Structure formats: structure tokens, C-alpha cells
Chains A and B, each alone.
Chain A
Amino acid sequence: NAGVTQTPKFRVLKTGQSMTLLCAQDMNHEYMYWYRQDPGMGLRLIHYSVGEGTTAKGEVPDGYNVSRLKKQNFLLGLESAAPSQTSVYFCASSYDRLPSVGRSTGELFFGEGSRLTVL
């Protein structure tokens, strides 16, 4: 089972360039998330989606855009890359929304990460 697949795994950009990270999941999950991981900062939520055609802002959305045109795909775009966006980006998905007590587990399935360097 592929699970959550991120492409590309590595990318180097120059300041001002644009790019798109693709996340694909084959588990028919409703919910998808984009996080960034920086040293000493843990994971911070950028944007998330609760279903096809929907997106919402997370903790650090500035400088990023997302789209969820198909249920299985969640795209993260950088329109004008900045050095502060150098990070490792993780996509995750879950079957259901994060749970209330007694509902589904809310377990997140993560991709392997995409390391982005902006020069």
C-alpha cells in the first residue's frame, strides 16, 4: 500500500521562484493536511482540507496556497519562495476529522516529507 505519497522529495529554489508540492493518498481519506517542520519548532500546520473542494488556514498559512480539486490529492503552492520557507514539508491524511470522545481515532498518516531549500 502506497499510503501518502509526496512529490518531489527534494527541491532547491531561488528566492522569488514558484513551485507546487503534490500530496496523494490512496486510503480514501476525507481530511488532508500540510505541515512544515523546522528545527526546534516541532510541526506547524499550514493549511488543511476537510473534503474535496474545501481548504482552510492553519497556524502558518502566509506565503502558501492550497487546492483540493480531487479527494485523493492536496497541492501546496509557493507563489514567490522566500528563504524563510526553507523547511521540510509533510503531508498527512486522516479518515475522519479529529475526534470527539468516543468517535474515530483521528490517527494521521504522514508522507515521507519534502525537503525544500530556498536560496
Chain B
Amino acid sequence: SQQGEEDPQALSIQEGENATMNCSYKTSINNLQWYRQNSGRGLVHLILIRSNEREKHSGRLRVTLDTSKKSSSLLITASRAADTASYFCATVPIQGAQKLVFGQGTRLTINP
């Protein structure tokens, strides 16, 4: 079963606007990671946030983590056409094998 669930499944915005994607998960986690996948390509790691962190920034990316609500959000500011991609959250559960469990992804389209 999938640990993370992204919301929305698809998002279409105008270039320059901010894009927010959410991820919910079911069990306690060690850390949560966000990945990007361009069409027909492999996944690329964007950012990792640990369970004892609440917010993290990397360039135009801002990630928040609320462990009490078991949710995370990824904010991309000042979006660009090149940001068009699918975005996945992935979690490392505390219990069980240390493996990364992916959600189903959010398809983001930036319209020029």
C-alpha cells in the first residue's frame, strides 16, 4: 500500500504564480523527501526534511512538515515553464524496513 498520497493529483497554473502540493502519510516517519520527474525521465531528488524539522528551504522550494497531522507541503515560488513535471513525496517509515515509500504524485503544468 502507498504511504504517501499527494494532493492535488494535477495542478495547472500560470507562469510566475506559486504552486503548492500536499502530501499526507499514514504512519510515523523518519524523514520525508520530495522528488521531481520530467516526462519520460527518471526521478530527481529535490529536498529532504527530517521528522524533527518543521520547515526547509532550497532555492525557490519551501517544504513544511507537520508530524501531528502526518502531512507535508511543497511550495514552488515564482513558477517557470521548466517546473512542469510530476512531483512525488516519499517517506521513510520508522517501523519496518528502511525503505523509501512513494506516493502517486502530482502532475504540475506551468502555462507560459
Name the interface size band of chain B: 20 to 34
Across the interface, B48 reaches (CB within 8 A) one of A4, A43, A107, namely A107
Within 8 A of B (CB), among A60-119: 90, 92, 97-102, 105-113
Q: How many residues from A make CB contacts under 8 Å with B? A: 29
Pairwise interchain contact B31-A99, C-beta atoms closer than 8 A? yes
With A and B bound together, what is the CA distance between A43 and B86 in angstroms?
12
A42 touching B88 in the complex, CB below 8 Å, given contacts A106-B48, A110-B44: yes
Q: With an 8 A cutoff between CB atoms, is B30 at the interface?
A: yes
With A and B bound together, what is the CA distance between A40 and B41 in angstroms?
17
Pairwise interchain contact A112-B41, C-beta atoms closer than 8 A? yes
Chain B 61-72: CB-based contact to A (< 8 A → 1; otherwise 0): 000000000000
Q: With an 8 A cutoff between CB atoms, is A58 at the interface?
A: yes
Across the interface, A90 reaches (CB within 8 A) one of B2, B43, B45, namely B43
Q: Interface residues, chain B, CB within 8 Å of chain A? A: 2, 4, 30-31, 33, 35, 40-45, 48, 50-52, 88, 90, 92, 97-105
